[in-house]
Amino acid sequence: MRRKIIVLSLALVLAGVFTAACFAQTNPRGVPAEKKPVAVVSEKTVNLGEVLEGQDYSHSFVIKNTGAGELQILSVKPG
């Protein structure tokens, strides 16, 4: 149960980081509106079901740039 809470917490933190990156990237100074990147994370949470102790789990979050500018994700830190 503890591992499930940790994994789900990590997933929520990662979703929050990507959402923050989206907002940080959409309004850079000096960049025309038509050249701004827009980060879209289609899946903000993941349900891993029952998590067994000692078992490794992973999930990839897909981030898509729907804007015209270059999207840079400079760092990701789990909470």
DSSP states of 11-66: HHHHHHHHHHHHHHHS--TT--GGG---EEES-------SPPTT-----PPPEEE-
With the CA atoms of 15, 67, 65 and 31 taken in that order, what torsion angle do they form, in degrees rounded to the nearest 10? -80
| pLDDT value, residue 31 | 66
Query: In this structure, what token pair is assigned to residue 52?
Result: 């067994």
pLDDT tens digit string along 37-56? 999 988 888 888 888 999 98
Mean pLDDT over the full length of the chain: 77
Band of pLDDT at residue 72, cut at 50, 70 and 90: very high
Domain ranges of the chain: 2-65
| pLDDT value, residue 29 | 61
